[in-house]
Amino acid sequence: MRKKFILLVALLLAILSLAGNANAGPSASVYGIKTETYTIDNANFDIKIEYPQIANLGDNERQERINALILSGAAPEKFFRKLASRDDARHFSMHIGYQITWQSDRLLSVRFTGYSYGKGAPYSPHEFYTLNIDMVKGRILLLRDLVTINENFVEKFRAEGIKTVSPHPDRFSGAQVLVEFTQFNTIEDTIRRFNAADELSPEGYRPGTYCYFTPDAFGISTSVAHAIGDHANFEIKYEDIAENIKADNEVWRDFFPRAGKNP
């Protein structure tokens, strides 16, 4: 009898533990993902951009809205139209793939990587950008929607101890990238850069700085010189930025179960 009681208590504790961390993993979502490809293939363009689309969400209007946001973020048509309309337009190619780094009922985080090349350019840049989607509200999340961007936050990424995770793992520190490798190297410059992160211009130009989520860490990527990789990605443990998260944003409950308006 005692053994059965102990097993029952253990089972109840396990159930409570799972309930406290609902939707806290990439596989904890009810919707599916399918891959689509945006292509332009003509005399001026060779564009191939793979991007995810949501399936079986259960809310058709929200699913269509989210899929439209993903497509416009992955392949901004305004950018390509503006590029084609230039008097000095040259052949331009871009090949991009994607990786989902976090998927839940609350949040979808996607990284896009690849390369682009303009005819006559001295090199082919490595492309990197991200999209973070609030799956409940059906909107794109910017870095400034997620964290309070202040001196305390940016100094965590400007530290000597934080190292690149890609494209050159452990090669460069945050201090090198954000302080030594750019002329915009003050704390105020970094705050401005982070405040502009993730937001496309009205013409479809990219900001150069992005954020993303992984199971264990929060990532920030920023553009750098081609000689050191075109972009530098840093990741920091969630608990190390806990004081800066905007806890009323429900997506943080994936990583801090007690965050949000109704913890």
Q: What is the DSSP string of 190-247?
A: HHHHHHTTTPPPTT----SEEEEE-SSEEEEEEE--GGGTSEEEEEEEGGGGGGGB-T
pLDDT at 89: 60
Among 227, 241, 242, 184, smallest CA distance to 209 is for: 184
Cross-strand partners of 118: 92
Residue 33 buriedness (CB in 10 A; 0-12 / 13-18 / 19+): middle
Q: Which CATH class is domain 23-254?
A: alpha beta
Supply the pTM of this predicted model.
0.85
The pLDDT tens digits along the chain (263 residues) read 444 444 443 433 333 333 333 333 444 577 999 999 999 988 888 999 999 999 999 999 999 999 999 999 999 988 888 777 765 567 889 999 999 999 999 999 999 999 999 888 888 999 999 999 999 999 999 999 999 999 999 999 999 999 999 999 999 999 999 999 888 899 999 999 999 999 999 888 899 999 999 999 999 999 999 988 999 999 999 999 999 999 999 999 999 987 876 43
| Residue-range domain boundaries for the chain | 23-254
Would you state the structure tokens that stand for residue 181, as one six-digit string?
């490798």
